[in-house]
Amino acid sequence: MVITDFLEKNARLYGEDVALVEINPSEERDRAVTWRDFSLIENTRPDLPYRRDMTWGQFDKKANRFANLLLSRGIKRGTKVGILLMNCLEWLPIYFGILKAGAIAVPMNFRYSGEEIEYCVDLADVEVLVFGPEFTERITPLVDKMSRVKFFFYVGREVPRFAESYLELVNYCSQSAPPVALEEDDYAAIYFSSGTTGFPKAILHNHRALVSSCQTEQNHHGQTRDDVFLCIPPLYHTGAKMHWFGSLLSGSRAVLLRGVKPEWILRAVTEEKCTIVWLLVPWAQDLLDAIESGRVNLNDYMLEQWRLMHIGAQPVPPSLIHRWKKYFPHHQYDTNYGLSESIGPGCVHLGVENIHKVGAIGKPGFGWEAKIVNERGETVTGDQVGELIVHGPGVMLCYYKNEEATNEVLKDGWLYTGDMAKYDEDGFIYLVDRKKDVVISGGENLYPVQIEDFLRTNDKIKDVAVIGLPDPRLGEIAAAIIELKEDVICSEEELNEFCKALPRYKRPRKIIFDKVPRNPTGKIEKPVLREKYCHGRLVEAQITH
């Protein structure tokens, strides 16, 4: 079985039923909807100009059209096709069209800078790039540099000179299934990850891994045909897509909400009758803050059908869930642990029946094994801390074109996560710390080396180290410890202004002037800095709520 089989089954059995809904309630919604091709998707509502939907039958036909377009251009099995799109109805049909053509889908983070886009396109050997209007300014200067890319398909109206119109071209392609036989061991997708070294690594998965993710997700959260899943995180992220895979397996509806304001979330749950919502910690905290401040009145919404709220992508403060249950006592709750290397969430999960264990990431997920080992690879006992390793059908095949990095994390079929953990007396797993120095802020990975390298271009700075500080809303914030050159004067305001050249999400949230400690081999001693600056912040974060 391959992942596209589920789509074809749903089109056959539930062809007239809605598969996907897109809601874009932002003030810029007119721009967001006018560049779409209404002749292909079609179902808008006059009373909700920011809403569109698509049936399972339309979904499958659109995927077929794009697959046939790729084949007509000579795209062969194994060709890599990049996707740079914001969440929209076109996203998933394009993804499945790539797979139906036997090609490999390469989703990319919509926050990537031009330099990162160029790097990832080159690393993954991308030959076709599908992108939307939000990325034109970033891609245009790179066109001549990305010589491997043969075709640029633009999902919008005002087509750049170097690209072709996806919306027009697919109209002329057959909506019948392409003549490509797929097998579960065929390569399917490349996702990107990264550690403290900065630029991402390319993670290769096959169809078997994608199918296993569907089965794990549906087993954990019991999606049925009656469920409606509200998906807010970006679809390039394995977490968002693999949680949606539960809807794919059950043939149930999903809603793509382009926005995170508490009022928008509650309105979408009400209007679309959503039963399952996946949130990140900041969004859940914002919603609770809105309720407690009186800005949101739950009596204004119809939420009785909402049965499950689950959270992933970062550690979850137990205090958050205790607050949540105060306002939503009937909700099931789950937290999910996973990596892109393990095809997203679910290799470890808490389980809706274990809310009394809030704070733990849980036990091995459906079809998975997990254990905690010491540096010799031996399973730890009691409350000893070791490295969490996982084994299952969703473990990546490799880091594409990086044998050395692959061998560091894949050993005898086990994936070494780099996360330090321990067991409690009941066998539940708790994360303790990360081997890697990645800062996870609001569910997004921030790579300290990139920020440090940028700050070092300031001629007043002698040395710099970026660490994560606990934050009650975002989980962590990036803090830059700055060591100035001798006899130099520089203010925090000056450095904040300097950092405006960085993407907003990469800018340090806190500037600390101090000496940067290094060990005898020249490496920054970040554990020393975390010990010095994190403890007080951790206490502060824990008592904030």
**pLDDT of 180 higher than 90:** yes
State which fold the 3-259 domain adopts. Rossmann fold (3.40.50)
**pLDDT of 536 higher than 60:** no
Q: What is the distance between the alpha carbons of residues 412 and 118, in angstroms, rounded to a whole number?
A: 34
Q: 346 Cβ partners below 8 Å, 6+ apart?
A: 213, 216, 217, 220, 242, 336, 338, 365, 366, 368, 394
Please give the DSSP secondary-structure letter assigned to residue 157: S
- The length of the chain, given as a count of residues: 545
**pLDDT of 345 higher than 90:** no
Report residue 452 as tokens. Answer: 């440090």
Which pLDDT value is given to residue 463? 86
**pLDDT of 361 higher than 60:** yes
Average confidence (pLDDT) over 90-95: 98
Which pLDDT value is given to residue 437? 75
Report residue 332 as tokens. Answer: 């099931």
How distant, in Å, are the alpha carbons of 86, 128, 408, 411, 458 from that of 421?
34, 41, 19, 19, 38
> Which of 396, 399, 350, 343 lies closest to 212 in space, CA to CA?
343
State which fold the 439-544 domain adopts. GMP Synthetase; Chain A, domain 3 (3.30.300)
Give the max Cα distance, the chain. Answer: 74
At 443-482, the pLDDT tens digits run 877 878 778 878 988 989 988 999 999 998 888 999 999 9
Walk across the sheet containing 104-107 and list its strands.
164-165, 151-154, 126-131, 80-84, 104-107, 187-193, 201-206, 398-399
Q: What is the distance between the alpha carbons of residues 443 and 328, in angstroms, rounded to a whole number?
A: 23
At 33-92, the pLDDT tens digits run 333 333 334 455 555 558 999 999 999 999 999 999 999 999 999 999 999 999 999 999
Which pLDDT value is given to residue 283? 87
Which pLDDT value is given to residue 496? 94
Average confidence (pLDDT) over 102-109: 96
Tally of CB atoms within 10 A around 188? 27
SS3 256: strand
Q: What percent of the chain has pLDDT over 70?
A: 91
Which pLDDT value is given to residue 99? 98
**pLDDT of 227 higher than 80:** yes
Q: Going by DSSP bridges, is the β-strand pair 126-131/151-154 parallel, antiparallel, or unpaired?
A: parallel
Is pLDDT larger for residue 375 or for residue 69? 69
Average confidence (pLDDT) over 303-329: 87
Query: Confidence class of residue 280 from pLDDT cuts 50, 70 and 90?
Result: confident
Which pLDDT value is given to residue 57? 98
Q: Where are the domains of the chain?
A: 3-259, 307-434, 439-544
Average confidence (pLDDT) over 278-297: 89
Which pLDDT value is given to residue 457? 87
**307-434 in CATH: which number?**
2.30.38.10
> Which of 358, 221, 228 lies closest to 284 in space, CA to CA?
358
Walk across the sheet containing 344-349 and list its strands.
43-45, 48-55, 18-23, 253-257, 228-231, 276-279, 308-312, 332-339, 344-349, 363-364
